[in-house]
Structures are given as C-alpha cells and as structure tokens.
Amino acid sequence: MSLAEEVRDAALQLGFVRVGFSPVEPFARGGNALADWLAKGRHGEMAYMAEHPGRADPTSLLAEAKTLIVVALPYTRHVSEAKALHGRVARYAMGGDYHAVMKNKLRALADKLGALTSRPVLARPCVDSAPILEREAAERAGVGFIAKSTMSIVPGVGSYVFLGELLVDVDLEPSMPERSRCGSCVKCIAACPTGAIVDAQILDARRCISYLTIELRGTIPVDLRPLIGTWVYGCDICQEVCPFNASQQERPVAPEMRARFTSLELSTLLAMGSSEHKRLVKDSAMRRVSRVQLARNAAVALGNCNDPRAIAPLVAALHAHASPLVRAHAAWALGRYANGHEEARAALATAAENETNAEVMSEIAAARSIPSTGPS
C-alpha cells in the first residue's frame, strides 16, 4: 500500500466516509468568488469573513504544509417530523459539537500519519471555524463537489456531512478532483423560501434562514419572518429537496454525533432561563446562539404556527420578557393572531399602554394595525 492508501484506511477506521488529498496551492477560484461576495455585502453581519485575507491560501495556516487531507463525517439525515408547537433544528446541530469531534479525529489521524512516517509530523487540523475555503478544498481533493446550493455533496453519501481538513508537511499522492454533478437541476434554488440562493453557487446570507436564526444578532427583517416557518436554529430545506439526499439509507453516525432531539418546544425556548439555556447548548453546536436569540426565533416560529395555543406564551413574553428584542418579535407574532383572537388583541392593547422601548412600541403599533374581524 502507498502512504496515501494507508492514511485513507486510517481515516476510514476513525469513522470518516470519504478521504482525499490535495497539493497545498492557493484557491484562486474560491478567492475570487469570496472577494466578489464580500464586495456585494452578501455576508451580512459576518464581519469575520472579511477579517482573514489568507482564506484562499492554506499556507497562511501552516507555512510548511505540503498536502491538504480532506475528510467527510456523516451526521443524522433521517429525522421525524416536528410536533405541533415545536421548532425545527438543522440536523447537524442535533448531536454533539462537531467542532470538538472533528478536531479530535483529525488529531488522531495526524498521530497515525506520524507513526506511518516514523517522524514527527507538522499538522494543523481545521473545521469550519478555521479560515480556509473548505468546500473548494473538498472538490480539489475529490471528496465532494460544490452544489448549486453552495453545499458540498459527497457522491454516494449526500450533503449531510461535516467537512474537515488536515494540513500536513508530508507529500501524499493527490486524489482526482471532483466535478459538479448538479446538471440542470435547480430544486434547491426553487425550494429556498427566502430566495437566498440567488444563482448557482451564490448565496445571499442576509436572506438565508440559517443566517437569520444563528448569525444575525438583532432584529429579523419583517418581510422574512413569515418565510422562516418554524426553524429556530439553521435550516435544511435545500438539502431536503436535493436528489443526492434521496437515499433512505442511514450512514453510520459517530456516537457523539447521534441526534439527541429532533425538535424543541417553542414555549420552553421562549421562556428559557440562563441555566436551562446552558444545559441545552452544552457540548452542542447550538452554543453559537444566545438565549435571547433562541427566544426571538421561538417567537417568530410561534407566530408562524397558525395555532391559537401559541398565543398564551407569546402574551407572557410580550408582557414580561426582559429583552426588548424578544418582546418586539412576540408583538409581531401576536399580530399574526390578532385578526380573530381577542386574547391577542387585548395583550397588544395592554402592552401599548405599558411598553417604553421604542422598537417594541413600533412593533406593537404595526401588529395592532391589522384589521380586526371582531371577537372570535
């Protein structure tokens, strides 16, 4: 066996489903695309995307690197439908924190490479938080291609995978690069409710549900709120409609990444305290969102439930939540029920008399402007 084949076997034994190798060279195409994306402001409030000019050059992370090893690790793909008054969570966040899991596995792979070469190996493990264009890296290493949705698709596996990279100072035989296989399919573009996929491989993050529920810290634009549905953390719609994910076969998932839950009760998220929030997000990718963000997202989701049982927790949040951001979104959500439900109208009227925050007052006024059809 060649050294590359031995490394591939070691990676497969660690639970990765695809492994590839690429020379360490700048990502010219990705670098140009990133520069254009940033220039058009499509990164929204993700300022960190512009803070690392070396994203297109892997040697900025490890100057001595000679090979980029790229791996894919699957996560749960088949989940049950969310129950009524429950919020949906992107599948990747249903298990353990993939950052820690992937880094541990990549470090183990680096140790194996050191044993195979009988010398200390300089290595730098990378997960998505590292400033590297990992989807082009995966394509170049033959692991997966960049779909029109901008997701990486691993042929024979699909897109429900985490990507990881390991920069090493060892020459390994490169893999054959992958090529796009989307053809004329545009299902992901057509299915995106907010129109975030503006063209093939071009995403306007400012309209993406994942961005709105995770990266955006402040007020969600009013016109996008009804389109979010009941997603409270991330979104999987573009993956759910992708033909490459049509297989009913569930790939073996690392124990740490198995889904702990498939949905979250919205009223609980809306009223959650600090200690409850810490327990929920511990050792989870959901640590990225604050308690206030989750409550804001829950308020929007309750407004989109079209279920009168959502009114009571929204009323409680509008009257008593400490965060003006949450109260503002609760007011909007109650406005969705005000036409036909006296409880919602009365709560908005009371809040209009007592609220002092300007943004919340504006949301209350807008919610009350919906024509009433009289008591339900």
Q: Which two tokens stand for residue 315?
A: 């009323």
> Average of pLDDT values for 9-14?
97
User: What's the pLDDT at 371?
Assistant: 65
Provide the mean pLDDT of the chain.
95
User: What's the pLDDT at 373?
Assistant: 45
Q: How many CB atoms lie within 10 A of CB 372?
A: 12
d(CA 308, CA 315): 12
Burial of residue 253, with CB atoms counted within 10 A of its CB: 0-12 exposed, 13-18 middle, 19 or more buried: middle
Tell me the backbone φ, ψ of residue 257, rounded to 5 degrees. -105, 0
> Average of pLDDT values for 150-159?
96
d(CA 180, CA 243): 14
d(CA 300, CA 217): 14
For the chain, first and last CA: distance in Å?
75
> Average of pLDDT values for 14-20?
96
SS (H, E, C) the chain: CCHHHHHHHHHHHCCCCEEEEEECCCCHHHHHHHHHHHHCCCCCCCHHHHCCCCCCCHHHCCCCCCEEEEEEEECCCCCCCCCCCEEEECHHHCCCCHHHHHHHHHHHHHHHHHHHHCCCCCEEEECCCCCCCHHHHHHHCCCCEECCCCCEEECCCECCEEEEEEEECCCCCCCCCCCCCCCCCCHHHHHCCCCCEEECCEECHHHCHHHHHHHCCCCCCHHHHHHHCCEEECCCHHHHCCHHHCCCCCCCCCHHHCCCCCEEEHHHHHHCCHHHHHHHHCCCHHHHCCHHHHHHHHHHHHHCCCCHHHHHHHHHHHHHCCCHHHHHHHHHHHHCCCCCCHHHHHHHHHHHHHCCCHHHHHHHHHHHCCCCCCCC
The amino acid at 28: A
User: What's the pLDDT at 1?
Assistant: 87
Q: What is the pLDDT of residues 97-152, one digit of tens each?
A: 999 999 999 999 999 999 999 999 999 999 998 999 999 999 999 999 999 999 99
d(CA 260, CA 283): 11
- Radius of gyration of the chain measured on its C-alpha atoms: 23
Q: What is the pLDDT of residues 265-308, one digit of tens each?
A: 999 999 999 999 999 999 999 999 999 999 999 999 999 999 99
Bridge partners (DSSP) listed for residue 87: 264
Tell me the backbone φ, ψ of residue 163, rounded to 5 degrees. -100, 145
Tell me the percentage of the chain whose pLDDT exceeds 70. Answer: 98
User: What's the pLDDT at 370?
Assistant: 73
User: What's the pLDDT at 43?
Assistant: 97
Bridge partners (DSSP) listed for residue 22: 68
d(CA 76, CA 117): 35
Tell me the backbone φ, ψ of residue 94, rounded to 5 degrees. -80, -15
Instruction: Catalogue the active-site residues.
Output: 128
d(CA 266, CA 366): 23
